[in-house]
Amino acid sequence: MEDCLFCKIIKGEIPCDKVYEDDKVLSFKDINPEAPVHVLTVPKKHISSTNDLKAEDEELVGYIYTVMVKIAKQLGISEKGYRIISNCGEDAGQTVSHIHFHLLGGGKLD
Ligand code: 5GP
Ligand code: ZN
């Protein structure tokens, strides 16, 4: 989608610090990390938020979780623990309208 920041990152129009990529998802470091490890994972398909998920996306969301768990293992934070969150809407503080999942870890989280 035009004018979507994460779609532009996916297309390579805006650079990112890539952690993982395949045909379905892209994972990259958050530009403003809130934990020692802060990685965002986004589907390449534009979906605005969890409110816009459709039945056909069930497999994709499960896939994103398994990718994030693999990243947590690779980055060495899976033993001590981590958090996966997705903010939806204004009250949750969603600032980018392309569904994304935060992987936070590498230290004690608030
Ligand atoms: P939200 O607040 O919508 O849940 O999360 C959006 C996240 O995107 C924020 O943690 C913010 O730091 C991150 N972010 C915003 N713009 C960019 C960018 O241009 N590059 C990267 N890597 N992260 C970004
Ligand atoms: Zn998008």
- Model pTM score: 0.98
**pLDDT level of residue 1 (50, 70, 90 thresholds):** confident
pLDDT digits over 75-99, tens only?
999 999 999 999 999 999 999 999 9
Q: Measure the CA–CA gap between 61 and 59, rounded to whole angstroms.
A: 6
State the Cα–Cα distance between residues 14 and 74, nearest whole angstrom. 25
- CATH classification of the domain holding 22: 3.30.428.10
On whether the CB atoms of residues 99 and 50 are closer than 8 A, the answer is yes
> Ion ligand 2 — residues with CB under 5 Å?
1, 4, 6-7, 46, 98
The CA distance from 40 to 20, in Å, is 10
User: How many domains are contained in the chain?
Assistant: 1
Does residue 93's CB lie within 6 angstroms of at least one atom of ligand 1? yes
Look at residue 105 and tell me if it is in a domain.
no
Instruction: Give the DSSP letter of residue 94.
Output: -
What are the tens digits of pLDDT across the range 50-75? 999 999 999 999 999 999 999 999 99
Where in the sequence is the domain holding 87, given as residue range(s)?
5-97
Structure tokens at 82: 């981590």
